[in-house]
Structure 1
Amino acid sequence: MEITIKRLTESEPFHLEGRNGSGNTVDVDGSPSIGGSDKGMRPMELLLTSVGTCSAMDVIHMMRKQRQELRDIQVSVKGDRQEAHPQIFTDIHLHFDLFGPLDPAKVEKAVSSSVERFCTATRMVEKVAKVTYDFTIHP
């Protein structure tokens, strides 16, 4: 896997673009406090996004395999960071909102399996942060 990062304009020194091998892009920017212009997600926001999307994809896949009618899914990810530099995450909490006529036991199995076993992003960050989760089913 390889990602290329490039600055988009000289006048906005922290506005960067990440590009993968397929040509997909994501804008990244720094906070205004360091001279950024809020034209993209910040790196630590992308890390939380990676954790949430990785787990969401696992859950979607497992719900399909279990023949559950998952109509929609939303994942909220909250990260707390230590105050001293480097400001690493100390706690990350994922809340899953799942929509459809779902079996709670199958949802619990899918969510716990993703967070505790399968999601590579979660498995990496759990080396430095406590990762917790919960979920709500909306029939």
Structure 2
Amino acid sequence: MEFIMKENSFVADLEFGQLEVSGNADFGFRPYQLLVSSIAVCSGGVLRKILDKKRVDYKDIRIKADVKRNEQGANEVTDIHLHFILSHVDASDEKIEKIMDLTRKNCPIYQSVKNSIQITETFEHKDDE
């Protein structure tokens, strides 16, 4: 990847398209947003693969991410809570907990930051949608 400086951001041309990153949300995606998105979406993708591999039926996965940053320091990300909402999932809570453990172990982004950011996870079933 190569990032090229612009007046208020840095830009990279990637396979999918152009990525514009800036510390100011008016000019691009903020770095912490990309960090949190990477962890959440990597976890969601691994979760999806494991559910499919184990032949667990589900309709949808949504992920809510809550972020804490250290305003006293460099405003670094200290804590991320991921809440997975699984729609019409055909598995017990116990089975999903085991799958979530496998998800953590197999998500490369989670594994990359686990010793520097506190990551917690919860899940719920939604069957009324």
Question: Do Structure 1 and Structure 2 share a fold, with TM-score over 0.5?
Answer: yes
For each residue in 1:32-69, what CA deviation from the matched residue of structure 2 results, as whole angstroms up to 9, or x when unmatched? xxxxx624320011000000010000000001011122
Q: Find out whether 1:55 has 2:43 as its counterpart.
A: yes
Q: 1:6 aligns with which of 4, 7, 12?
A: 4
**SS of equivalent residue, structure 1 residue 4:** coil
Q: Find out whether 1:133 has 2:121 as its counterpart.
A: yes
1:24 equivalent in structure 2? 17
Measured in 1, the distance between the counterparts of 2:78 and 2:9 equals: 27
Unaligned runs of 5+ in 2: none
**SS of equivalent residue, structure 1 residue 67:** coil
Q: Find out whether 1:109 has 2:98 as its counterpart.
A: yes
Q: 2:79 aligns with which of 91, 96, 100?
A: 91
Identity %: 25
Q: How many Å apart are 1:71 and its aligned residue?
A: 1.3
Report the number of matched residues. Answer: 126
Q: Are the structure 2 counterparts of residues 23 and 138 from structure 1 closer, same or farther at C-alpha, using a change threshold of 3 Å?
A: closer
1:38 equivalent in structure 2? 26
The answer to whether the 8 Å contact 1:98/1:136 transfers is yes
Measured in 2, the distance between the counterparts of 1:123 and 1:63 equals: 20
Which of the two has greater strand per residue? 1
Superposition CA RMSD, Å: 1.9
Moved over 4 A (4+): none
Measured in 2, the distance between the counterparts of 1:107 and 1:19 equals: 38
TM-score by length of 2: 0.84
Q: How many Å apart are 1:23 and its aligned residue?
A: 4.9
